[in-house]
Amino acid sequence: MTLVRVTNALAVANLTDQALRVRAVQAASAYDQDVLVTVLHAYMTTASRRGARTSVKTLDAYALALRDFVPWARDNGVTLLRPGARDGGRYLARLQTRPSQGQGKAGPLSASTVAQYVAGGRALYRALRWAGATEAQPFEETHAPPDPTP
């Protein structure tokens, strides 16, 4: 994790409970991906199971997932702080039917990519709960199917 990201994450983690809640609510209401990523990183580095030992790859993967989910939510009328109970499943279905982008690949996203994006969405909502912004858990019953490749 770069020094700037660590500094930003720690600055957010050091906010008072009320200031953190306000920052998270404002970011979610505005679909502000940059601030939401910072809140996510603050949660991951201070309150997740791995804490400050969370790998840079995990932080980057969850940020990528967030940057995919947030525009999808905005474009599909999902209010981030009050998502519907089925919105996690709707997003999963979209991931499973969306063609892969980049690296010359055509076809659906791989099972591991789908699982990574669902995990990122789940982490976003853990971070928003940690920040006191929402109690929503739209990914609670959403599970990516296992990879069929042995």
Residue partners of 133: CB distance under 8 A and separation at least 6: 21, 24, 25, 28, 81
DSSP E strands: which ranges in 33-89? none
pLDDT-derived band at 146, boundaries 50, 70, 90? confident
| Residue 11: strand, helix, or coil | helix
* Angle at the Cα of 80 from the Cα atoms of 123 and 90, rounded to 5 degrees: 80
How far is it, in rounded angstroms, from Cα 41 to Cα 66?
Answer: 11
pLDDT at position 4 is 67
Name which of 6-10, 120-124, 129-133 the model is least confident about.
Answer: 6-10
pLDDT tens track for 78-108 = 999 999 999 999 999 999 998 877 665 667 8
pLDDT tens track for 17-65 = 999 999 999 999 999 999 999 999 999 999 988 888 888 999 999 999 9
Alpha carbon 21 to its chain centroid, in Å, reads: 17
Query: Residue 72's beta-bridge partner residues?
Result: none
